[in-house]
Chain A
Amino acid sequence: MRRAFAYLAAIAAGCALGLGSALWLAGLWPAGRSLAFGDVDVGGWRSDFAIGSKAADPYTRARVARHGLLALAKTEAVYLTRSLDDAGAPLREACTYRLSGGTMPAGWWSVTLYDSQSMLPGNTDSALSIDAERAGDGAWEAVIAPQKPEGAAHWISSRSAGTFDLTLRLYMPDAALLADPGTALDPPRLARLSCEGAA
């Protein structure tokens, strides 16, 4: 009887361990973990170029299904996400950031802010992203803050975002980007300017 109980307990514990470890490694549990993962890392912007394809490993597939469902394969679009600023600190609603960049190796691009649930933050500011058309040719700059700063040419609202991340979409990516992202992409920089309550 004790022996049977030991085997039953081993099965229950094993299933719980396997389930928990799979959900954790795939980024499905606990809730609120970021999509900023993958083997591509260009200036803090991370991606797995296998997203959307059968080549993706089971961890990537599960994570993308949760955080990036209906993402396109890399020949059509590349998605890079970052959840840290240039100094390595998590992105927070209480802080103000300067996002700056230049020409991208793609037909069209955008940077969009998402909350920890991978959803657009629940505000009504109509300032959720910047894209190639609004940025124009050459160098561009946008301020990320909970309130619109005076004089900013472009603003991305972080109001109601809590801890957030940014997704860079590169549609119709250049072949050079897919072959060698570290060389082809001059990644947008993200400097923290100030934080509420900071000394």
Chain B
Amino acid sequence: MMRWLGPLLVLAGSAAGAHALTLHFAPAVIMARAMDALEERGVALHRFTTPARVTPQAQSIVRSSPDLYYALCRYDLSDPAGALELRMGAWPDYQSLAFFDAQTDNFATLRGTGQQVSVRLLPPGSATEDGAIVSPTTKGVILIRRLAPDAARFAAAAEAGKADECRLR
């Protein structure tokens, strides 16, 4: 019996290690795959891209809402001197500017119903500044949502989206 003790302990340790590593890396792997998929679908780096209105025939992210206008901007702040200049144009109904890091965490959200919102996004480790948010990871996604539950409102939201900006400086 004792001669199996060593392999059994190794089996238990391997199982625990593989379990923990899988859970630890799963969100980042899924997020990286999603970022690749967004890139393949034309979502630009450092620029807001508005996919077509969400329909069963045009959906790139799981559980997208057909009642919302989405604009996406991928970012890469690998250069510690870089920063993103962001602006969400005015929209009379609900809208928000949400920031997601490479671990899928929603690390900041700014609501802007009826008003324009401007903010800077700084690389990880930057000192905090007024009017700026520090990203926990170098890469991530910024997402604007606007309430637009029909085709006419979606078209109006797209028009408002012309004032959106996601620019590396």
Interface residues of A (CB under 8 A from B): 3, 6-7, 9-19, 21-23, 26, 28, 35, 52-54, 58-59, 61-62, 64-73, 75-76, 79, 107-108, 110, 112, 114, 117-124, 126, 128-129, 131, 133-134, 160, 167, 169, 171-172
- Given the interface pairs A14-B15, A18-B22, A61-B104, the reply to whether A76 lies near B98 with Cβ below 8 Å is yes
Q: Which residue of B lies closest to A2 (CB)?
A: B3
Give the number of A-B contacts (CB < 8 Å): 173
Q: Is B76 at the interface (CB under 8 A from chain A)? A: no
Which 9 residue pairs of A and B lie closest in terms of their CB atoms, listed nearest first? Answer: A14-B14, A18-B18, A22-B22, A18-B19, A52-B106, A58-B23, A10-B11, A10-B7, A62-B26
Q: Roughly how many angstroms separate A72 CA and B149 CA in the complex, as a whole number? A: 19
Once the chains bind, are A19 and B63 in contact (CB under 8 Å)? Answer: no
Cβ contacts A to B, 30 pairs, < 8 Å:
A10-B11, A11-B11, A14-B16, A14-B17, A15-B14, A16-B18, A17-B14, A18-B15, A18-B16, A22-B23, A22-B26, A26-B22, A28-B26, A53-B105, A58-B24, A62-B23, A62-B30, A67-B62, A69-B34, A69-B61, A69-B104, A70-B104, A72-B98, A76-B106, A76-B111, A110-B67, A112-B66, A117-B62, A128-B56, A129-B66
Once the chains bind, are B104 and A65 in contact (CB under 8 Å)? Answer: yes
Q: Roughly how many angstroms separate A53 CA and B103 CA in the complex, as a whole number? A: 10
Q: Is B27 at the interface (CB under 8 A from chain A)? A: yes
Within the complex, the shortest CB–CB distance from B147 to chain A, in Å, comes to: 6
Once the chains bind, are B54 and A120 in contact (CB under 8 Å)? Answer: yes
Interface residues of B (CB under 8 A from A): 3-4, 6-8, 10-24, 26-27, 30-31, 34, 54-57, 59, 61-67, 94, 96, 98, 100, 103-107, 109, 111, 141, 143, 147, 149
- Given the interface pairs A61-B27, A120-B54, the reply to whether A14 lies near B11 with Cβ below 8 Å is yes
Dominant SS among interface residues on chain A: mixed
Residue among A10, A26, A53, A121 making CB contact with B14, cutoff 8 Å = A10
Q: Which residue of B lies closest to A58 (CB)?
A: B23
Q: Roughly how many angstroms separate A70 CA and B72 CA in the complex, as a whole number? A: 11
Once the chains bind, are B26 and A65 in contact (CB under 8 Å)? Answer: yes
Within the complex, the shortest CB–CB distance from B85 to chain A, in Å, comes to: 22
Once the chains bind, are B147 and A52 in contact (CB under 8 Å)? Answer: no
Q: Contacts of B13 on A, CB cut-off 8 Å?
A: 14
Q: Which residue of A lies closest to B66 (CB)?
A: A128
Residue among B18, B55, B62 making CB contact with A15, cutoff 8 Å = B18
- Given the interface pairs A11-B10, A66-B62, the reply to whether A72 lies near B19 with Cβ below 8 Å is no
Within the complex, the shortest CB–CB distance from A110 to chain B, in Å, comes to: 5
Within the complex, the shortest CB–CB distance from A183 to chain B, in Å, comes to: 25
Q: Roughly how many angstroms separate A23 CA and B20 CA in the complex, as a whole number? A: 11
Once the chains bind, are B30 and A72 in contact (CB under 8 Å)? Answer: no
Once the chains bind, are A112 and B65 in contact (CB under 8 Å)? Answer: yes
Q: Contacts of B63 on A, CB cut-off 8 Å?
A: 35, 67-69, 71, 79, 112, 114, 118-119, 167
Q: Roughly how many angstroms separate A71 CA and B27 CA in the complex, as a whole number? A: 13
